[in-house]
Structure 1
Amino acid sequence: MSTDRKEIPLAAGQTADVDFHDNEVRSGLKPVTGSTPDGVPLSFNRAPVDALSPWIGRMMVAVARGTDSITRSGLLCNDAGYVRTAVAVDWVAQTADGAMEIRDQTFLCGQHSKAMPMKFTGGIEVAGFMLKPGAMRSLWGVDDGSLIDRIKFMDYVGIDDRELTNLHHPGIGAEEWLGAIESWLLHSITTRGVAPPDPLAQAFEEAAFADPNQSIFEFAEINNVTVRTLQRAVKRSFGLTPKQVMRRARTLDLATRLCGVADEEETEEIQLRFFDQSHEIREFTAFFGMTPRQFMRDRQGLLTLSLEIRQARRLELLDRIAPDAIRPWMRAPLQPAPSASTN
């Protein structure tokens, strides 16, 4: 990677992204696949084709143009595994295994137990898919727990990087890129006869979306399983304990609201999930390394992009919005960019 780059300075002790208010002026990023009303880049994201729905939660393409000489900092914190192809941009992720450099490659991202610092030079050009809990095990025999806070290149699961990375070519449109990835997935799944992931894990994910304060004992009783069975299933499919999954869901819901990509009708409900303000601050800081007030002051552009994908899927899964509806945080529906690689 080139060393002739300008770092955007952060306040002392912060790992926050650059301030994305007045986005194109302050961050130099020009959204292509979508943006919030105040200019924060968003992805074009949607549900997968029906045949992939047992394994795949979301398809996404994110493109934002930036200056090649500027390195920006941000965070990722996902409650799902991802496969992502990143092209034309240099990335450095601070994983549990140390710093990882990525450019023009496809990689497997594990779920997060806390936010992962990222740096990227230039803009954003990435496409991929969100894995449902346990899908990593069904598809490639890997438990989510082995990849918590980690990133691996695709040879880790026996896939030649070129199979996915070469699906991108200059000038490809966003929907065309997603269609190529879906076709690759369909061929891989049908030819190998892949079984769907654990339905108990799917039910637990939906419960975490609906009410992350739900009792673990209550969930086990409703689903007619023992608490021990639930703990084993969740650990295998999420890499965390049931209580940790619920804590993460509660905190990500709050972060989503602070990022401005939430249904405002849920504001009071989200706040009441915490016992008091000190509980809220303690939980939030454990995940993001900063208080909600610091988080609001230093708007998380990269995190906003990934949390919006989660929130869109969450509201669709809970039947609170239709797949083709204008999302509550948007003035108009997202449209795929005519070309993901056109300036």
Structure 2
Amino acid sequence: MTEHSVIDQAVRPGRAPGLTLPAGPVREILERAYAEDAPAGDITSQLLIPAAARATAVLNARVPGVLSGATVFRDAMQLVDPGISVELLVADGATFDAGTHLARVSGPARSVLLAERVALNLVQRMSAIATRTAEFVQLTRGTRARITDTRKTTPGLRILERFAVRCGGGANHRYSLSDAVLAKDNHLAVMTGGDPARLTELLLEARAQLGHTTHFEVEVDRMDQIEPVLAAGVDTIMLDNFSTEELAAGVALVAGRARVEASGNVNIHTVAEIAATGVDVISVGALTHTVAALDLGLDVELTVG
């Protein structure tokens, strides 16, 4: 079983209790992060903090949001030192207010301080993605549109960022280039060799080579491409950078013959209008590629020793 199929089975859609991540891939991410951040340990803490000192700290929310990465935060702490105790006070997928205590950490002070930055970096980014996703989902309530991510993720962190989208109530697009066929404008330009009249024929030939379970999606950027693509029996047609008027016309033209995805020019100000056109899916690269870390802090309450 591939890593992404594990994720798709383990992560349940929506902000339901019990969202989980597989331990193996998360551990690999954390090991790489510590190899980068503390290749020979934390020389500051080793110099300044007595070996016997213990610390208790709280993960505090300085702004409201949706939590994602609580278990990653815990695993980041305990990978450094199994002697660190982490009490998760808020679950992944839950909303919280500014001032909420999200987790409590206690253990050897040197270990807590070494783990602090990696643990915070990940939970801050993941919670920012979940919070942004929840905003988009809220703006499309009452429509048929599903908010999804894209492959515009941070290299090496896709598994975490996709999970965060689910924590925010969104859905996931294909995990990788290996998962589904998505023919975009550059594919079509090369494939047709500048002869758009052959588009349907070439797509039919391509589809005939696919297994019956492989999803086939094609991107179009003009209204006159819709019928030739539909004639090839695709599963999803992506309307890229269409105006809302064109999206509504495109949905009417497709008329249920394929799933309709809207992409391009999607932001917090346009998403409600896009959803109202009747599209089935709205893919939003901004969920992952332009978020700023959510303001969470690890505040030491007590140091003993």
Q: TM-score category by the smaller chain?
A: under 0.3
* Pair member with larger Rg: 2
TM-score (structure 2 length as normaliser)? 0.26
TM-score (structure 1 length as normaliser)? 0.24
